[in-house]
Structure 1
Amino acid sequence: MAEQINIIIAEDQHLLRQTLTSMLDEVDDFQVSYDVSDGKSLLAFLKDAPTLPYILLLDISLPDINGLELCPIITRDFPHVRIIVVSIHQQESLIARMITLGASAYLNKNVDFDLLVQAIRAVYAHKFFMDDHVIKILQNSQRHLINEKKKNNQIDIDLSIREIEVLTLICREMNSMEIADRLFISARTVDGHRNRMLLKTKSKNVAGLVMFAIKHNLVELI
């Protein structure tokens, strides 16, 4: 028997929440353990819930505490919860922001149910799910960040887009294999990027890379 995947739904639209619960409960290894319409009730549930790996389907537009506020709180206080944002809001800056804050995936509310199931399984198994659209948005976000730093003469070391991506994930305490899975590259390639950044920044170790990132405000740390 497949391992059961516990799911929480945080969605303020009652009909959508009921529909999602009914459809997800029909999947053999899925169980909707809790559904909620506001952020305060969600945090109260998580505080008293058993420490199990949960998948949280999170709407951004909750009536009391919105998803932007909830995401870093949950990531910090309930690390066993993996967040999949399901939202009508598709602004690139918002998607990049939610991933930076700790979301493992970002889906449109109009997503096909089969893709939602795929995303839930991927996040449960690998801690992330990113389709081509989200990957492109993150790359554009990093490219814009680098260009702004160069324009303002805030960084005089030429790091590539991929190196910045690797550095960002290093700062989120991910190891080479986890970074490789996230970026769809090999662990050896990750090690190569890290070693080149050590040389470019004249850092002695990974801690030095993190300090470099903080000094130049290259990544947002939670």
Structure 2
Amino acid sequence: MIRIVLAEDHNIVRNGIRSLLEDQPWIEIVAEAINGHQVMEKIAEGLNPDVILADINMPELDGLSLTEKLKTFMPQIKVLILSMLDHEKYVVKAINAGAAGYLLKSISKEELLFAIQHTAAGNKYICSDLSMKMLARLPVHSSSFDSDQTSSAQLSKREKEVLALIAEGYTNSEISDMLFTSRRTVEGHRQKLIEKTGARNTAALIKYAVKSGIID
């Protein structure tokens, strides 16, 4: 069970996120807050969540400031920043502040669930739209994974198929339909791809696919 706090000052947005998550048997929404101060108060009272979904812009104490405080006092709590801001500089600020990930509010339910699982397990995650945008700005020769892993990673035929579809921008649900398998199976393949290639995010996975010749 992953215990989650929703920190978002807009009721409609917060209620929408809750509706996406509350039907998942492996998620428990343990608290809601409209700013970072409320989150810190709840933690001071003994609340110990695994993941906090925090809006980057909140009154009194915003998502980045909250993340910095938690990095100092409760580093085991993972913070996923939610934002409408799609510029790379905000991603960098969030990661430097200690965030486990950065998500645009336009992401799909499937990607949100994957991001929660991935970061709760101790990994970093940047949503696919931002990863693609950042990838486009990187020089072709740069790498986000270890070169030894690039040459040694042994991928199965199905993992290569999943990787190729990820690189083409398909969601986990779309990939499961195309490969006639379950979404959970696709999520498992995606996690194994990350582990085998040493990639830290979707952009790095795509770069691996290009460098290894899986896609052109």
TM-score, structure 1 as length reference: 0.59
Whole-Å Cα distance in 2 between the matches of residues 110 and 76 of structure 1?
30
1:30 & 1:73 partners in 2: Cα distance?
24
Partner of 2:43: 46
Give the drift of 1:161.
5.5
Q: Are the counterparts in 2 of residues 86 and 106 from structure 1 also a CA contact under 8 Å?
A: yes
Aligned residue identity for 2:90: L
Q: Decide whether aligned partners of structure 1 residues 50 and 131 sit closer, same or farther in structure 2, where only a CA change above 3 A counts.
A: closer
1:134 CA drift (Å): 4.1
CA contact under 8 A between 1:128 and 1:182: conserved in structure 2?
yes
C-alpha deviation, 1:51, in angstroms = 4.3
Q: Are 2:91 and 1:73 equivalent residues in the alignment?
A: no
**2:80 match: secondary structure:** strand
Q: Unaligned stretches of 5+ in structure 2?
A: 147-194, 206-216
1:125 counterpart residue number: 121
Contact 2:53-2:81 within 8 A present in 1 as well? yes
In 2: Cα distance, 1:80 partner to 1:36 partner: 19
Question: Quick one: structure 1 residues 30 and 142, their matched pair in 2 at CA, closer, same or farther if it must change by over 3 Å?
Answer: same
Larger radius of gyration: 1
Q: Which amino acid aligns with 2:38?
A: S
Counterpart residue number, 2:100: 104
What residue number does 2:57 align with?
A: 61
The 1:9–1:125 alpha-carbon spacing in structure 2 relative to 1, beyond 3 Å, is: same
In structure 2, distance between residues paired with 1:119 and 1:139: 19
What is the identity percentage for the equivalent residue pairs of Structure 1 and Structure 2? 20
Higher relative contact order at CA 8 Å, sep ≥6: structure 1 or structure 2?
2
Within 2, Cα distance between the matches of 1:11 and 1:60? 9
Paired with 2:77 and 2:106, the residues of 1 have a C-alpha distance of: 23
Consecutive unaligned residues of structure 1, counting only runs of 5 or more, are 144-159, 167-176, 186-222
Cα offsets for 1:78-128 (capped at 9, x unmatched)? 112101111111121111111121111111111111110111111112432
Counterpart CA distance in 1 for 2:48 and 2:199 is 25
Evaluate the alpha carbon distance shift between residue 100 and residue 84 of structure 1 in structure 2; reply closer, same or farther with a 3 A threshold.
Answer: same
Change in Cα spacing, 1:132 to 1:21, as seen in structure 2 (3 Å) is: closer
Q: Which of 14, 18, 37 is 1:17 aligned to? A: 14
Task: Tell me the residue number matched to 1:82.
Answer: 78
Which residue number in structure 2 is paired with residue 7 of structure 1? 4
Q: What is the count of residue pairs matched by the alignment?
A: 153
* RMSD of aligned residue pairs (Cα, Å): 2.9
Give the whole-Å Cα distance in 1 for the aligned partners of 2:27 and 2:7: 16
Going from structure 1 to structure 2, the CA distance change for 1:96 and 1:32 (only over 3 Å counts) comes to same
State the match for 1:201 in structure 2: none
